[in-house]
Amino acid sequence: MSAVLWPVTARITEVLDIANGTGEQETAMRLLKVVEEAGEASAAYIGLTGQNPRKGITHTPRDVADELCDVIIAAAVALHAFSAVPSAVLDAKLHAAAGRLQARTPQ
């Protein structure tokens, strides 16, 4: 994971906290931002594949990648509301996922 992810998302969180507060409403909005960004990634993929014949191909793989990065950033910002050390939570989750994958890999 990028070494700058957590310092940058901590700064974004600070700015949002100052501007919007830290109550339940703001926490909900940060979670909804993750969903919004995921929708944009999905829309970009639909545009990449030309799934909508009326519109055709409207996006590139780079557009999809950029939207996926927005999902990651939004999720990291939201994670700050649920953990004092979000990097440790993500690291633990990644290691658990890797362990499950390794356990399923044929030897």
> pTM for this structure?
0.91
pLDDT along the chain (107 residues), means of 10: 90 98 97 98 98 97 98 98 97 95 78
Nearest CA to 10 among 93, 79, 89, 71? 79
Cα separation, 92 vs 107, in Å, equals 24
Which pLDDT value is given to residue 3?
87
Which pLDDT value is given to residue 106?
76
Are 2 and 66 contacting, i.e. CB atoms less than 8 angstroms apart? no
Total domains, the chain? 1
Cα separation, 104 vs 13, in Å, equals 37
The token duo for 69 is 């990065």
Are 44 and 59 contacting, i.e. CB atoms less than 8 angstroms apart? yes
Cα separation, 74 vs 21, in Å, equals 17
For residues 80-90, one letter each, b for 16 or more C-beta atoms within 10 angstroms of the residue's C-beta and e for the rest, the string is bbeeeebbeeb
Q: Which domain holds residue 56?
A: 5-104
